[in-house]
Amino acid sequence: MKQAGSNRSRILSAQVWMKDMAANFDIMNEAWSQWFSPNETPARAAEQIGFDAEQIRLELIVFAAQSLTVG
């Protein structure tokens, strides 16, 4: 994210696709909660989906604001 001019605190929302929500949602949710500061947790949507590749278990799309330099 640094190369894009952003960082974790500037994440606005995320879309999460999981192969098996029943087996992995609690694990993902715990990691999500630990990765963000309590008052900086962005909006999130999660959905179970079948992936073509067997080894894929999770995909994310993250939307974040960029830091702008004025001058």
Give pLDDT tens digits for 23-60: 999 999 999 999 998 888 899 999 999 999 999 999 99
The candidate with the shortest Cα–Cα distance to 28, out of 54, 64, 58, is 58
pTM of the model: 0.78
The full set of domains in the chain, from first to last, is 2-64 (3.30.1330.40)
The candidate with the shortest Cα–Cα distance to 56, out of 28, 14, 20, is 20
pLDDT tens for each residue of 50-70: 999 999 999 999 999 987 765
pLDDT tens for each residue of 1-22: 677 778 888 899 999 999 999 9
- Beta strands of the chain (E only): which ranges? 11-18, 43-48, 58-64
